[in-house]
Amino acid sequence: MSEAQFVLPEGCLSVDGGHVSVYRPDCIAKAKFVIFYGPEECGSCRIDRLEGLDTLYRLAETRRNFDVEVIFSPSQEQVQEIMELLRRKAFKWPVLVDVQGTFMELNDFVPDDNRFHYFLTDADGRPVFVGNPLFSNSLWNLFIRAVDSL
């Protein structure tokens, strides 16, 4: 798709089931489906809808050839609120918080348009699919083909 390469910001916090820890990435290179929520998006709205991503997490568990990484990159003013909302939500899958707000700097290939803040990368971090596969059956079918080709 492109020569762009996804980079996860250092110092992310992971909120998993309401528990907070410093995110430690896996040493093994693996494909990732990245869902990015920036500071201009309604963080509380996105957090309220996290259960809608269960289908993607379950697919990742079944296929075992990619992981799902949900990343919030709030403004400095929003960090505490987002962290508290995620802790209270106690979502059953880990959610990352880019507390330094460097996601977009490190991943300048990601457009500002939040419709394109969903992307599948190969094990080397190169995007191979862009879009929200839960949006339509056509996108889902394209996504499955991309996952199958990993």
- pLDDT tens for the chain, 150 residues long, are 457 889 888 889 999 999 999 998 776 679 999 999 999 999 999 999 999 999 999 999 999 999 999 999 999 999 999 999 999 999 999 999 999 999 999 999 888 898 899 999 999 999 999 999 999 999 999 999 999 999
DSSP string, 52-79: GGHHHHHHHHHH-SEEEEEEE---TTTH
106 closest CA partner among 5, 2, 1: 5
**Domains of the chain (ranges plus CATH)?**
13-18+30-148 (3.40.30.10)
CB atoms within 10 A of CB 127: 21
In this prediction, residue 102 carries a pLDDT of 92
pTM for this entry: 0.91
Q: Cα(126)–Cα(39) distance, rounded to whole angstroms?
A: 24
